[in-house]
């Protein structure tokens, strides 16, 4: 029995905000941003779009691909029938529609028509998709009746930024990605999810934090001004953590799966900063071209970055049956982890 990725999908807002666009309102420029981050643009959701809207579109794309193989347009009735075959929806996000409840996954479950699926959100920062993939795989494995799961990463980070802070606002974008997992009779050593590493270091919780609005720093009745909650980040601490966690996670995944790095076709990292990935690759002697990067166009989309990259690779014909890929995540919490998948 194997847990395979049968289809992928993504949702990217149409509004593209380039570095040159940002330079019109910030003391920055394209050369500075690209040289420090590798980012050229990011996509921003309009005011009417919420996290669940992007998640729903990515989910629909994944279901359509599972039905048609090519992901072509299909009738709504066919999509509704496919949604009824889902046993669960697991969604990673740090930017939900609502504070605390209801979960984004429940909103997606309703709009998708997946009334036979249970639904839950995972809050693990930029590692949310990796945590979600392992959670869904475990829940599929240990219940004979469960066959299919949607795992989604979705973020509207643009609503949680100080757009006057050039050090942080240039880093992030909005988007969603989804995969359809299915339990099959394939050899688990030859197909599907082969191994996972999940880790956390709560001592670094303050390094990436949305401070306002929670029970620790709640808004109070009668406040005349309610500042929007924004992402605060200790850049140097996050950089050091990320480089260390990437290298350690790769080493642990290789040891757990008894593979060598030369057997891995693609390393798909969380798309945070090109300098972080270059430093980690140099430390391990891994050429940069072994890492799949799309942050130049999408910037950091947190829990959505890895499934967006998976879908881009998949639809671009760059993943073949039997390819071994490795996902690597790191982010708020602090959390880190990775998966080894045989495509």
Active site (catalytic) residues: 126, 270, 300
Cβ(85)–Cβ(66) below 8 Å: no
Task: State the Rg of the chain over Cα.
Answer: 19
Cis bond leading into 102, ω under 30°? Answer: yes
CB-based burial label for 118 (10 Å; 0-12, 13-18, 19+)? middle
Q: Strand 174-184 to strand 2-11: parallel, antiparallel, or no bridges (unpaired)? A: antiparallel
Is the Cβ–Cβ distance between 239 and 272 less than 8 Å? Answer: no
Q: Is 271 exposed, middle or buried, given 0-12, 13-18 or 19+ CB atoms closer than 10 A?
A: buried
Give DSSP secondary structure letters for 120-170.
EEE--GGGHHHHHHHHHHHHHHT-TT--EEEEEEEEEGGGG--TT-TTTGG
């Amino acid at each position: 029995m194997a847990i395979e990725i049968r289809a992928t999908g993504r949702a990217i807002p149409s509004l593209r905000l380039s570095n040159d666009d940002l330079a019109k309102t910030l003391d920055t420029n394209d050369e500075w941003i690209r040289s420090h981050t590798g980012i050229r643009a990011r996509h921003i959701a309009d005011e009417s779009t919420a996290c669940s809207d992007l998640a729903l579109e990515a989910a629909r794309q994944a279901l359509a691909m599972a039905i048609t193989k090519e992901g072509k347009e299909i009738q709504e009735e066919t999509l509704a029938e496919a949604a009824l075959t889902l046993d669960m929806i697991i969604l990673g996000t740090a930017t939900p529609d609502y504070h605390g409840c209801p979960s984004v996954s429940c909103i997606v479950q309703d709009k998708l028509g997946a009334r036979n699926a249970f639904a839950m959100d995972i809050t693990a920062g930029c590692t949310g998709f990796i945590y979600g993939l392992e959670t869904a795989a475990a829940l599929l494995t240990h219940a004979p009746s469960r066959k299919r799961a949607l795992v989604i990463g979705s973020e509207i980070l643009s609503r949680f930024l100080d757009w006057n802070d050039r050090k942080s606002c240039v880093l992030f974008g909005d988007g969603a990605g989804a995969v359809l997992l299915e339990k099959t009779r394939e050899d688990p050593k030859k197909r599907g999810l082969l191994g996972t590493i999940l880790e956390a270091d709560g001592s670094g919780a303050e390094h990436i934090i949305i401070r306002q609005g929670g029970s620790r720093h709640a808004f109070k009745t009668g406040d005349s001004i309610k500042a929007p909650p924004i992402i605060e980040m200790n850049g140097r601490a996050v950089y050091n953590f990320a480089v260390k966690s990437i290298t350690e996670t790769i080493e642990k995944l290789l040891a757990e799966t008894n593979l060598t790095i030369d057997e891995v076709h693609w390393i798909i990292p969380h798309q945070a900063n090109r300098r972080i990935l270059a430093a980690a690759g140099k430390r391990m002697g891994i050429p940069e071209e072994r890492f799949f990067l799309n942050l130049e166009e999408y910037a950091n989309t947190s829990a959505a970055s890895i499934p967006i990259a998976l879908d881009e690779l998949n639809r671009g014909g760059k993943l073949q049956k039997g390819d071994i890929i490795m996902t690597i995540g790191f982010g708020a919490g602090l959390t880190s982890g990775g998966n080894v998948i045989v495509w």
